Structure 1
């Protein structure tokens, strides 16, 4: 699959690289696993003097041997003696950067927490003492969000405030997904597009897997997911267990409930029969896996709060894979696929709402976009988009089947909310599969 999008990120990396010709730069690149961070960095490195290093889970001495060889080959330099400690390797690199400008990428940088945690303070000491005369374009990349955030944003950590730039790599937007699907299958249907969005969420690796396999319809994608040696079946565990550590079973239980529309804290606690406040807080603030959802215009301290899983694929995984993991272990893929097919209409209805919210965001025509409901979950509105400058508000109902949209009912449900927009032009909009 060809390289798509990321023009803004590549432009930002180019500007950082240009600044490094005058003064050393330290950039942190983060994003969930499979999002395309490494592909982006390697694309940026094309035609540049750049060294890419992967921090594998092995001894520091072995890593240093590999790192030294990579620098030797790229920069055509010699090293007399042997380096077995990362601090000595980094000091050598900083010395080389005094007389030449180059890029050094350290991928999966958070692994040093397990290999040798003192590396972070050693980097800090060397960086602080030599950065003023260095021309190094240093990039740290990591996919364990909580660990990378702790390394660079925890005031107690040595590398706190040292980074000169930060890039958070996000999923492909809906327009890019449409472009990719159109290139792979010009005859795609709107249902194919909804399945593509619902099951990949714009995560680059999932997109690439489906395109490479020619799995471009709902049946094709589900067959790819529920098959022997599938990347997707263990993906939730592979993506999250390292994030969560030994408490992963509690986190998984919470996420499974949210995926099944148990989206309020009281609902979750009544089922698990325990307090989950600290877990919800960490899932949102430390891991970035869920987010709070409040009715539009509600106060930030309001008690009317729901939670949703940010990532489309993880929503699917916790709803259809995690619940039936015993079937995964015995290889009953037909059962798994049947369960997903029967539940997909309900699941994709919520994903269609997300699709249109993302589409409205990408239009850059609104100052605020959110959802709305009143006490007891009454008068729910799928989403509301507001342009405060033009004094315009859109109240939208989203249904897969356009025939089920009732704008009169939408107007009735919107009566109380509409009073909060005096002088506004109000638009009542029905959106369906046909509007994608």
Structure 2
């Protein structure tokens, strides 16, 4: 964003991303000497009046503040005349809802005057569907005007760790498993995991209410999207399974799954050995916040309504460690990609067999198979043996040099350790994982 602001030419920038992701904070920090304006659901007159007061201060022109701007044409004329001004229009869709003529007015001024200045116009919005309607749709008046586009994504685990620099590694994994990399959710855990996690079960708290709020803001039929997410959380992963469980038609299911993917709430995965599109694809809830919400909040509304926090705590103690296994898979994958840059890395499955992370390098005929055992007890002999047995079924890897890795939250039984030593398998404990991440984090931050 700093590069945009220093640009010697006019810039028409679109910043988008889901709510709570930190767009506003980033823009406020970046545009210290420009103008920051937030759209509201208000009358066109009130909106223009607020903009007049803001612009008056930035341009040091008391007349604008005193008499006000009569139209957006007049406002954009002042901006064009200044010639070198940075303005952020946050929640731009609300501005358009208030005054539908804004896109065509901005289009005309950009095409004929503003694009020839050094003005920087930055448009930001949280509603992905509305940003699509007003800025990305081919029929939109402002379509094709953008010079740059920034989609803000959730933070990685390493970035999220910076919120809690003194926190223990396992505690950070537990927090990330419930929040993902969304800053607003991470801050709910400023007093630690045990206190923060219970906010999911308080109806007045953000962590409880935001899942449904986001769906209502983003989509027209939130109940159908809710049904799809509920189905996936309950174990339906293939397209037919989701369709059958929700009772939705093929076209509707396909459309809603595509939108949930665009919102970065779900992801479609195929076995790592299948190149390109594959009918073997499965759907998962990718966003940790939504995954936690549909796993632990929605199915337990009765306990939340009756205030049974004692039972909710016991439920988390019993089921959360196993839930975190998939979270750790997501955390460890970037590290493995860094270690094995030539490998194609992802999950593998075939019929009833599945391996958490598999890497394949066909050029050198090498592969690795890695599993995460995030449970209270140590990984046992059968856990290690089972990994090697399943790896034998990975297609197109006959004769490959195979490497095995197993990550265990609570170490390994003596029998498992002997098997690991016998077959030169890599066994990582929680402590090993923490050391690896410290090294990887330092490498990432130094880039």
**TM-score (norm: length of structure 1):** 0.85
Question: CA 1:234 to 1:228, structure 2 compared with 1: closer, same or farther past 3 Å?
Answer: closer
Question: 1:428/1:45 Cα in 2 relative to 1: closer, same or farther (>3 Å)?
Answer: same
Separation of aligned partners in 1, 2:70 and 2:300: 47
**Could you tell me whether the CA contact under 8 Å between 1:259 and 1:319 is conserved in 2?**
yes
Q: In 2, distance between residues paired with 1:268 and 1:25?
A: 43
Whole-angstrom distance in 2 between the partners of 1:421 and 1:124:
59
Q: Are residue 320 (structure 1) and residue 296 (structure 2) matched?
A: yes
| Native 8 Å contact 2:188 2:196 kept in 1 | no
What is the Cα deviation at residue 120 of structure 1?
A: 1.4
- Counterpart for residue 94 of structure 1: 80
Does 1:278 find its partner at 2:252? no
Partner of 2:330: 354
Please report how far the alpha carbon of residue 124 of structure 1 lies from its aligned counterpart in structure 2 after TM superposition: 1.0
Residue 134 of structure 1 pairs with residue 117 of structure 2: yes
Q: How many Å apart are 1:259 and its aligned residue?
A: 1.7
Deviations 1:322-350, CA, capped at 9 Å, x for gaps: 23335545555445444444332332222
Higher relative contact order, chain-length normalized (CA < 8 Å, sep 6+)? 1
Which moved further from structure 2: 320-329 or 60-69?
Answer: 320-329
Q: For residue 63 of structure 1, what is the aligned residue in structure 2?
A: 47
Distance 1:396 1:52, change over 3 A: same
> Displacement, 1:254?
0.6
Q: Deviations over 1:190-209 (max 9, x none)?
A: 2x122111011011111122
| Correspondent of 1:258 among 224, 232, 239 | 232
1:399 aligns with 2:378: no
The reply to whether residue 76 of structure 1 matches residue 60 of structure 2 is: yes
Residue aligning to 1:223: 198
RMSD between aligned residues: 2.5
Deviation at 1:404, TM superposition (A): 4.3
Aligned counterpart in structure 1 of residue 3 of structure 2, from 15, 23, 36:
15
In structure 2, do the counterparts of structure 1 residues 113 and 297 end up closer, same or farther at CA, with 3 Å as the change threshold? farther
| SS of 1:42 mapped into structure 2 | helix
**How far apart are 1:157 and its partner, in Å?**
1.3
2:359 matches 1:385: yes
Q: Distance in 2 between matches of 1:236 and 1:337?
A: 21
| Mapping for residues 162-311 of structure 1, pairs under 5 Å | 162-183=145-166, 185=167, 188-190=168-170, 192-211=171-190, 214-215=191-192, 217=193, 219-227=194-202, 229-245=204-220, 247-275=221-249, 276-285=253-262, 287-311=263-287
Query: Structure 2: how far apart are the matches of 1:358 and 1:220?
Result: 29
Which residue is 2:420 aligned to? none
Please state how far the C-alpha of 1:290 moved relative to its aligned partner. 1.6
- In 2, distance between residues paired with 1:325 and 1:55? 35
Gaps of 5+ in 2: 410-429, 435-447
Normalized against structure 2, the TM-score is what?
Answer: 0.83
2:202 and 2:304 in contact (8 A); partners too? no
Q: 1:32 corresponds to which residue?
A: 18
C-alpha change, 1:363 and 1:30, in structure 2 (3 Å) is farther
Q: CA, structure 1 residues 385+271, in 2 after alignment: closer, same or farther (shift >3 Å)?
A: same
The aligned residue for residue 437 of structure 2 is none
Give structure 1 stretches of 5+ with no counterpart.
1-12
Asked whether the equivalents of residues 231 and 246 of structure 2 are also in contact (C-alpha less than 8 Å), the reply is: no
Tell me the residue number matched to 1:5.
Answer: none
Question: Which of 39, 44, 49 is equivalent to 2:30?
Answer: 44
- Give, in angstroms, the shift of residue 116 of structure 1: 2.5
Aligned residue pair count? 404
1:182 offset after TM fit, Å? Answer: 2.8
Tell me if 1:157 matches 2:143. no
**CA separation of 1:108 and 1:387: change in aligned 2, threshold 3 A:** farther
Shifted more, 124-133 versus 51-60: the winner is: 124-133
2:320 paired residue number = 344
Partner in structure 1 of residue 419 of structure 2? none
Contact kept? 1:28, 1:165, Cα under 8 Å: yes
- Distance between the aligned counterparts of 1:65 and 1:366, measured in 2? 57
Q: Tell whether the 8 Å contact from 1:60 to 1:84 is kept in structure 2 after alignment.
A: no
1:334–1:431 distance in 2 versus 1, CA, 3 Å: same
The 3-state SS of whatever aligns with 1:417 is: coil
Cα offset for 1:151?
2.8
